[in-house]
């Protein structure tokens, strides 16, 4: 397994809608394992494939404190959403920044597991928030898109400065 580099905003590869996964082969299994390792090392609770430069509709998640509830979402869709609330959010591709946005507190997810088997899942709280965040990634969206243009501009400048300083 390997920790993969995570792309940072404003990388254009974060802005493409990802195509569905069709082949459930060895390469896909290796990619999923690497994505988990990358996510745990970040540390984060979710990671989408296009954040590590792979254009596939695939994300991994684990919202548990003990790192013992890994979840693979392939070709995910939301089939129900409810109870919008304001929550604080951050993204591994927008480092060191957090802000409040609105997310559904309850939802039902339909997706495929790592073997291509379909499942449905109801989630609330942090897990529901994370599912929405990762599906946004797979649609080429970032949580900062929900912020005011003024805030977005400030974030873009800050990250550009950090990128220059970091070489």
Q: Which residues bind another protein (CB under 8 A)?
A: 42-47, 61, 63, 65-66, 88-92, 95, 98, 126, 129-130, 133-134
134 is catalytic: yes
> Which ranges of 69-124 does DSSP label H, i.e. alpha helix?
none
Residue closer to another protein, measured from CB, 25 or 66: 66
Minimum distance, C-beta of residue 110 to another protein, in the bound complex (Å)? 20
Binding segment for Zn ion (CB under 5 A), chosen from 20-28, 62-70, 74-82, 91-99, is 91-99
Q: Is the peptide bond before 26 cis (omega within 30 degrees of 0)?
A: no
The answer to whether the CB of 39 falls within 8 A of the CB of 47 is yes
The answer to whether the CB of 111 falls within 8 A of the CB of 57 is no
Exposed / middle / buried, residue 58 (Cβ in 10 Å: 0-12, 13-18, 19+): buried
Kindly state whether residue 91 participates in binding Zn ion, applying the rule CB under 5 A: yes
Residue closer to Zn ion, measured from CB, 91 or 131: 91
Could you list the active site residues? 134
Which residues would be at the binding site for Zn ion (CB under 5 A)? Answer: 91
């Amino acid at each position: 397994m390997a920790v993969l580099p995570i792309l940072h905003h404003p990388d254009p590869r974060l802005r493409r809608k990802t195509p569905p996964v069709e082949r459930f082969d060895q390469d896909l299994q290796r990619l999923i394992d690497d994505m988990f390792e990358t996510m745990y090392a970040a540390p984060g609770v979710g990671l989408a494939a296009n954040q590590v430069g792979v254009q596939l509709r695939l994300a991994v998640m684990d919202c548990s404190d003990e790192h013992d509830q890994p979840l693979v979402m392939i070709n995910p869709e939301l089939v129900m959403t409810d109870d919008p609330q304001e929550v604080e959010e951050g993204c591994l591709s927008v480092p060191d920044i957090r802000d409040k946005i609105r997310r559904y507190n309850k939802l039902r997810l339909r997706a495929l597991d790592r073997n291509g088997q379909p499942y449905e899942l109801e989630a609330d709280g942090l897990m529901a928030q994370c599912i929405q965040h990762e599906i946004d990634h797979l649609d080429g969206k970032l949580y900062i898109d929900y912020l005011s243009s003024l805030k977005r501009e400030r974030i873009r400048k800050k990250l550009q400065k950090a990128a220059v300083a970091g070489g």
